Amino acid sequence: MLDVATGEVLASKSATTPLIPASNTKTLTTLAVMNAFDGEERFATTVVQPEPGRIVIVGSGDPTLLSVPAKAGTYPRPATTQDLAARTAEALKQAGQTSVTLGFDATWFEEPGWNATWPANYRDQVTQLSALWVDEGKLPAGGRSRTPALDAAKTFAAQLTANGITVTGEPTPATGSGDEVARVESLPLHVLVETAMNRSNNSYTEVLGLQLARHVGQPTTFAGSVAAIRAELTELGVWDEGTVLHDASGLSRSNLVTANMLAKAMLLLDSQPHLSVILDGLPTAGVTGTLADRFTDDISSPARGVARAKTGTLSLVSSLAGTTITDDGRLVSFAFIINGPPDGWASKVWADQATGVVASCGCS
């Protein structure tokens, strides 16, 4: 536990022992991303025309791209291929073209899309990574696509057809070159980060890791993503000796980080305005998100509505890291990582109660 204003260590036990953090890896990834970017960047999905009668849809890693608009009143409202198809059809008709063949280009990332440390049964938790997908690669009939770029292109082809453009043949891989016909752009990066954290979305966070790798000149692979995250965290003074990362989302059971790292990360998020957008994506204890149904007993309840924290859960792994105001008005950051508990629910209750004790203490 750290004092956010001074950095003073208020309490510590085994804080530098590397342990499996589960989804709290996302805290480190998003911190690294926001440290490297301005936060206003957007990632475009474009349609280009290498030659008359031929168009190519090109992805540049918008993780939130949808096929159709989100329901009215929902937040956020990402770009859609429906909009892109309408714009493309209008431009083609103005050029006197009503029939095309369609290619797709997802080479913005080199990564073939599946981490070697993820078991096959995680395919319901994360999509095969791609620089081009719609609806996070989730299939209408259920499950997740293993060919998300191809499926996105097929969706786009159907939408072009609905807009009066005949698409001849099946979409094929292609190089995106030629004049731009139409484009849609992602939400600003800071909103993508907020959304990834709020939903604890594995696919979104892995794409953000690849975007970070590309931005800083690393290969757009899992190894490049991890190298980029390490470099940013080292610059911030957060990286601890013995830390091991294999992915950006925390699905890998081979990841090892320290509670000290997570507490330092949370301190930075609550003390630096540029990074504080990540806090906007954290649930409030007993109120929102993954913490809505927690902090219900007398010991943990002092943290209800006060603490904001990121959870992490895998089999035999539980973590909780965040910030809270203590009873005497002190802002502190905290992190708990529990590995190997025989009772997963009991470990969550323990972390909630520890947070409640911190919130109710006079720590001055």
3-class secondary-structure state, position 142: coil
Q: What is the DSSP letter of 363?
A: -
Tell me: do 61 and 198 sit in the same domain.
no
CA distance 3 to 266: 11
CA distance 90 to 75: 28
Residue ending a domain, among 135, 155, 187, is 187
Tell me: do 231 and 337 sit in the same domain.
yes
pLDDT attached to residue 112 = 85
Place of tokens 């309490």: 11
Residue ending a domain, among 187, 211, 243, is 187
**What beta strand segments (E) does the chain contain?**
2-3, 44-51, 54-58, 99-105, 166-167, 172-173, 179-185, 308-314, 317-325, 331-339
Nearest 5°: CA angle at 98, between 97 and 104? 90
pLDDT band for position 85 (cuts 50, 70, 90) = very high
Tell me: do 183 and 220 sit in the same domain.
no
pLDDT at 363 over 70: no
Instruction: List the beta bridge partners of residue 39.
Output: none
pLDDT attached to residue 231 = 98
Please state whether the peptide bond connecting residue 18 to the residue before it is cis, i.e. omega within 30 degrees of 0: no
Tell me: do 146 and 172 sit in the same domain.
yes
The 10s digit of each residue's pLDDT in 320-341 is 999 999 999 999 999 999 999 9
Residue ending a domain, among 187, 217, 236, is 187
Structural domain for 66, as ranges = 44-187
What pTM did the predictor assign? Answer: 0.96
Summarize the confidence of residues 343-352 as an average pLDDT: 96
The 10s digit of each residue's pLDDT in 267-308 is 999 988 989 889 888 999 999 989 999 999 999 999 999 999
The 10s digit of each residue's pLDDT in 115-147 is 999 999 999 999 999 999 999 999 999 999 999
Tell me: do 220 and 71 sit in the same domain.
no
pLDDT attached to residue 364 = 59
Tell me: do 307 and 355 sit in the same domain.
yes
- What total number of domains does the chain contain? 2
Look up the CATH number of the domain holding residue 14: 3.40.710.10
Tell me: do 20 and 102 sit in the same domain.
no
Burial class of residue 163 in the structure, from the number of CB atoms within 10 Å of its CB (0-12 exposed, 13-18 middle, 19+ buried): middle
Q: How many residues belong to the chain?
A: 364
